[in-house]
Every structure is written in structure tokens, then in C-alpha cells.
Amino acid sequence: MRRSTRSLLTIAVVIAVMGLAVWLLLHENFPSLIQSLRQADRALIALAIATYFLSVLVWAYRWRIALASVGCHPRFTDLGPIILSAVFLNNMTPMMRLGGDPLGRVYLLQRTANTPYAATLAASIGEHAFAPLFTVLLLTGGFTLQFSQSSPVLAALTLMAGCSIAIALALGPRCFFRARVGAKRLGAALGRTCNWIWKRADKDRIVRGVEAFYGGFYTTIDTRKKGLQIGSLTALIWTMDVFRFYLIFLSLDYQPTLGILLLASSLPVVMGLIPFLPGGLVIVEGSLFAMFVAYGIPVDIAVAVTIIERGISYVFSSIVGGITFSFVGWRSARYQSVQG
């Protein structure tokens, strides 16, 4: 396929995704969002929005560290827009953590900076090595604090179960990828699948690619220094997420408990993985609202917090990310035409 044709296809994809974005955003409840914003402290809402986009920059910096570990050194100014584009793509896909992250942003980086796909993919997944750990820690902390008010025994059982899972998640990925468990079998399975689809797939090359992916993933966390860097930045992102919810509650003149904040930050991540609607629409809002009400938050506050939070993390981020995605797509097409 000629470079000009590829550039046109890139532009066509950008337009199609933007059209889908407009359709989805039109189905958001904007009147309720505007009413909630009128009742809230606008300065605190603005600070919550700033906190969200600051966490995106921290994410871009974490990605840069992971990429450097596999020998890729793109400019930071390239990574930020791609992360925003990935957020947009995540919001437009049923499994909101998989559409743009990592596959979409890896593809965009390859198209704009000519980075090797396998190494970039390994680093992009490797930087999330601690994300499941922190998700479990926040869920465990949130449920433990909430259960401790009514059932100390259930709180203790939740804490023990959560800590056991957290230990496994902390040690598992590093041991799994260092030992390259199942690498050859996975490569062989992929080789057979590709050979069935394309008939002439190079099975040996696919196996080597899978083994290289395992090695690249492990390289991102193979030393204590790298692990501390990736882990610390992941913790910072989660802390900013919790802080954003705290600001939203404060903007409505409500003082939440720490347990509520921990659950509010981690529950949408889990629920958003369910392939239901793009960006976790409906199921994320429903789970947040139900959790708030179940733990005693007044209905009007629960509705307002849910609407404002989704206004920031879905509506506003989709608008900014969509504009950025258009720019990245245009730059990708221009880069490919220059290369051709």
C-alpha cells in the first residue's frame, strides 16, 4: 500500500472516531451536569480538572521512563498528546482501558516517532505492572475502612484477602516474565493462528517476537531503581485520583471518609473493564452512585459527584483528547508522507 493511501486511511479513521465521539457525547446528560456545576464551588472544580490533566503528564513521564528502559527515547512533547489521544480512544471503546491503552498509543507513537512496535508495546504494558497492585490496595483499603464501622471480623477478612492478592500481584509479574513462563507455547499458538489466517506466517519469527516482548516487559522493572521509579509514579497517579474526588466532594460542601475516596478511585477502573458500553458508560456511573448511596451519602450529593466526576474523566477528557487525537493523526499522516 502506498504512503499516500495510508495517510488517507489514517485521516479517515480519525474522522470516523471523531464522529463516534460526537454521537456518544451528545448522549451525555449535559443539563444535569450544568446544574451540578452551578451548585459546586467552581474554583475547586477547576482544581480537580487541573489535577486530572496533571496526572496525565505524570503518566506520560512514567511512560517515558519505561520506553527508555528498552532503548526508545521519544520526545516528552510527543508522549503527552499521545497519552491524551489514548484517553480519548479508551473512552470510545467498550473496554475503556484497552482501546487506546496500550495498543492505540503504541501504534500512534510508532507512526509519529518510528519506534519499534514490539519494544514499545512491551514497555507500555510494563509500565502498568503495578496498576493491578494499587487497584487491589485501594479496594482493600476502602472496603476494610467501610466494613470496620459495622463488622470488624469482615474488615479483618477483607484485609487479609486483599493483602494476599496484593503480595501475589507485587511479585507475580516480575517472576512470570523473568522466567518467561509460557513464552514458547504462546508464540507457537500465535504462529498457528497467524498461519491459519495469512497462510504464510513465519512461526519462528513470531516465537522470537513473543520472547522479545517478555524480555522487554521484564526490562522495565528488572532493577530496584526502575521498580521504584515506575511504582512511585503509579502511586502518585493514584494519589492524584483520590485527591480529585476529594476536591469534587469539597466543592459540594461535603466531607467524605477516606474509605469512600479509595473506593471511588478504584471501583470505576474495575467496572470500566466490563465490555458493556464505550468508556464504561452507564455501568461506571451506576456503580459509583450505588456505592455512594450504599455507604450513606445523600442522594443529591451522590448524583452531583457522579455527574461532575464523569464530566471531567469522560466528557471533558474526551473533548480535549479528541482534539489532540485529530492533531496527532494529522501529524502522523504528515510524517508518513514525508518518510515516503
What pLDDT sits at residue 337? 59
- Cis ω on the peptide bond leading into residue 152 (within 30° of 0)? no
Q: How far is CA 82 from the centre of its chain?
A: 13
Q: Work out the average pLDDT over 210-225.
A: 72
Specify whether the CB–CB gap between 328 and 108 falls below 8 A.
Answer: yes
pLDDT band at 336 (very low <50, low <70, confident <90, very high): low
Q: How many C-beta neighbours within 10 Å does residue 306 have?
A: 24
Q: What is the pLDDT of residues 244-272, one digit of tens each?
A: 999 999 999 999 999 999 999 998 888 76
Percentage above 70 pLDDT, the chain? 69
Average pLDDT over residues 13-36: 56
Mean pLDDT for 105-115 is 82
In angstroms, how far is CA 61 from the centroid of its own chain?
14
Decide if 59 contacts 83 (C-beta within 8 A): yes
**The predicted structure's pLDDT at residue 99:** 46
CA distances from 312 to 42, 211, 248 (A): 13, 40, 10
List b or e across 212-251, with b for residues whose CB sees 16 or more CB atoms inside 10 angstroms.
bbbbbbbbbbbeeebbebbbebbebbbebbbbbbbbbbbb
What mean pLDDT comes out for the span 118-129?
A: 82
State pLDDT tens for residues 151-189: 899 999 999 999 999 998 888 777 777 766 666 676 666
pTM of the model: 0.79
Compute the average pLDDT of residues 237-247: 96
What was the pLDDT predicted at 255? 94
d(CA 114, CA 191): 25
Count the residues in the chain.
340
Q: Give, to the nearest 10 degrees, the angle between helix 42-69 and helix 224-251.
A: 170
Average pLDDT, the chain: 79
Cell of 271: 467496572
> How far is the C-alpha of 271 from the C-alpha of 131, rounded, in Å?
15
Average pLDDT over residues 29-46: 75
Q: How far is CA 13 from the centre of its chain?
A: 21
DSSP 9-64: HHHHHHHHHHHHHHHHHHTS-HHHHHHHHHHS-HHHHHHHHHHHHHHHHHHHHHHH
Q: What is the grid cell recorded at 267? A: 471501583
Query: Per-residue pLDDT averaged across 48-70, rounded?
Result: 92
Measure the CA–CA gap between 182 and 192, rounded to whole angstroms: 15
Question: Does residue 17 surpass a pLDDT of 60?
Answer: no
Cell numbers describing residue 47: 482544581
Give the Cα separation of 92 and 96 in Å (integer). Answer: 7
Which one has a higher pLDDT value, 32 or 320? 320
Tell me the C-alpha distance between 222 and 168, whole Å: 17
Q: For 191-204, what is the mean pLDDT?
A: 63
Is the model's pLDDT at 44 over the cut of 90?
yes
C-beta of residue 240 within 8 angstroms of C-beta of residue 246 = no
Please report the sign of the dihedral spanned by the C-alpha atoms of residue 91, residue 312, residue 270, residue 97: positive
CA distance 251 to 244: 11
- In the chain, count H helices and then E strands: 15, 0
Provide the pLDDT for residue 193.
67
pLDDT at 5 over 90: no
**Residue owning grid cell 464504561:** 280
Residue with cell 480537580: 48
